[in-house]
């Protein structure tokens, strides 16, 4: 069945992009919007790194279901 593989792939990619965005904002490299509560906060950078890593695992795991 290919549908779960595609859904996991979309979820993994979404987590990768979201995690990368949170890391960049948490490090203060992206300030969009500049008054965001995430910008320059190290805890968001660490949380984003965790989401990014988990997204990589989910994306890799999706290959198992794509037959």
Query: pLDDT tens-digit profile of 38-54?
Result: 888 899 999 999 999 99
Query: Containing domain of residue 46, as a range?
Result: 3-65
Mean pLDDT for all residues in the chain: 88
* Cβ proximity of 18 and 51 under 8 Å: yes
Quickly list DSSP for 10-23. Answer: HHHHHHHHHHHHHH
pLDDT value at 5 more than 70? yes
Q: Compute the average pLDDT of residues 8-26.
A: 95
Q: How far apart are CA 32 and CA 17, in angstroms?
A: 15
Number of domains in the chain: 1
Q: How far apart are CA 7 and CA 15, in angstroms?
A: 12
Q: Is 14 exposed, middle or buried (0-12, 13-18, 19+ CB in 10 A)?
A: middle
């Amino acid at each position: 069945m290919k549908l779960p593989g595609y859904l996991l792939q979309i979820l993994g990619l979404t987590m990768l992009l979201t995690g990368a965005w949170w890391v960049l904002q948490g490090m203060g490299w992206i300030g969009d919007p500049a008054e965001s509560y995430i910008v320059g906060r190290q805890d968001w950078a660490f949380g984003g790194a965790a989401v990014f890593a988990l997204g990589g695992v989910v994306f890799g795991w999706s290959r198992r279901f794509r037959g």
